[in-house]
Amino acid sequence: MVLLSITGVVRTIFIIIGVIFFLRFLGRLMISKRAMDEERRMLRQQRQSEREIQQARANYGKRTISKIDPNQTSNNDYVDFEEVTD
């Protein structure tokens, strides 16, 4: 036989309500942390793209000369083909 007391039932209900509120608070805290991390990441990407745009504007119209490394072997040699007819 189980004996229930009013104070035990009320205490259990308060514990359950407290755990629920704690979990809700913890969930909101985690969501806000994730949103802040996402905002930081987006700002970092935006700054990076702005730097690239400014660098492109600074180099607009300038010429660059690329040298081919003579030690590098290339299999992409151009070959002229002649059409053979019978």
Q: Which residue numbers in the chain have pLDDT < 50?
A: none
C-alpha distances out from residue 77 to 14, 23, 50, 62, 74, Å: 81, 67, 39, 29, 7
- Quote the pLDDT of residue 56: 87
- Quote the pLDDT of residue 36: 97
Q: Is pTM, for the whole model, over 0.95?
A: no
